[in-house]
Amino acid sequence: MQPSDTENRGLIGRLLAVSPDAPVKTIVVALILCLVASTAVSYLAVALRPAQQLNKLKDKQMNILQVAGLYEPGIDVVEAFAAFEPRLLDLRAGTFTDDFDAASFDSRAASQDPALSIALEEDPASIGRQSKYVTVYLLRDASGGVDRVILPIHGYGLWSTLYGFIALEEDGNEIYGLQFYEHGETPGLGAEVDNPRWKAQWRGKRIADASGDIAIQVAKTQSAAGADYHIDALSGATLTSDGVNNLVKFWMGEQGYAPFLANLKSGDV
Ligand SMILES: Cc1cc2nc3c(=O)[nH]c(=O)nc-3n(C[C@H](O)[C@H](O)[C@H](O)COP(=O)(O)O)c2cc1C
């Protein structure tokens, strides 16, 4: 027996032959479109991931260069970043460790790993868990001494966790700069943490007073500690400013970098 005309056409031929008004044709065409589009999106997501990760790394390196005062437009970021010595810090001990590779250690991922992090009971920066290790960046002078240290910091603002760096002079007390490279605060309000004029206030300010107490403060009015310890809060964004105040105090305190900064001052690291 000869095959009929319809059997000869194959699947696509048969689909084309179906009337455009038939619901089955609409459904099949929609399914094919979904399949093609989702395959393309998945392929692009996987194919572009390495480039995205590289851009994220470069952006972080550029922020470290900026906060340390080494960034100039047009420079080769990767080349300039070689000036830094990344070291892995055991936060509680305040000493360096070689337990993991400093350049690639991901303290954000580590903070979600119970073996590599601790749950904070006192948590003024509202971060929940804290990685036991963080990568810090040292900038050395010509004679090999530490000239500046760049320390990662993070904590909650109003809507989001702000991630950034603070750069300190070799005494571990004078601030060279502070800036955030990631946050979700409102443009024009909390996002004014990125305003160069606001960031410029941090240069030369001090963290601890003569008795060693943390005196740096982001507030609307200056405290009794004086101008050396005062950063003006952002107007219309007191809640983000409070978040920055809390996170800076937290990271400069005993649960943050205080053990390391004490070792830095005494020349033990
Ligand atoms: C849509 C919207 C977005 C806001 N975003 C922020 C913000 O990112 N950071 C912040 O501190 N306040 C933000 N605020 C304002 C706060 O609700 C609050 O009024 C402000 O922090 C108080 O600051 P002030 O005492 O300087 O006025 C926002 C308010 C609205 C309505």
**DSSP secondary structure string for all residues of 197-228:** HHHHTTTT-BSB-TTS-B--EEESS--TT-GG
Q: What angle (nearest 5°) sits at the alpha carbon of residue 194, between those of residues 45 and 63?
A: 60
pLDDT above 60 (res 2): no
Ranges of each domain in the chain: 1-76, 83-265
Residue 15: strand, helix, or coil = helix
Residue nearest to atom 25 of ligand 1 (CA): 238
* Residue whose token pair is 């991630």: 163
| Pairing state between β 217-219 and 230-232 | parallel
Task: Give the tens place of pLDDT for each residue, 145-190.
Answer: 999 999 999 999 999 999 999 999 999 999 999 999 999 999 999 9
Which residues does ligand 1 sit against, CB inside 6 Å?
A: 158-159, 185-186, 189-190, 235-240
pLDDT above 80 (res 7): no
- The closest-lying atom of ligand 1 relative to the alpha carbon of residue 191 is 8
- Give the confidence band of 260 by pLDDT, cuts at 50, 70, 90: very high
Task: Give the tens place of pLDDT for each residue, 51-96.
Answer: 998 898 999 999 999 999 999 999 999 999 999 999 999 999 999 9
Q: Among 160, 218, 238, say which to mutate for ligand 1: greatest number of ligand atoms within 8 Å of CB.
A: 238
Which pLDDT score, from 0 to 100, does residue 8 have? 65
For the entire predicted model, the pTM comes to 0.85
pLDDT above 90 (res 250): yes
- The closest-lying atom of ligand 1 relative to the alpha carbon of residue 233 is 26
Q: Among 156, 158, 160, say which to mutate for ligand 1: greatest number of ligand atoms within 8 Å of CB.
A: 158
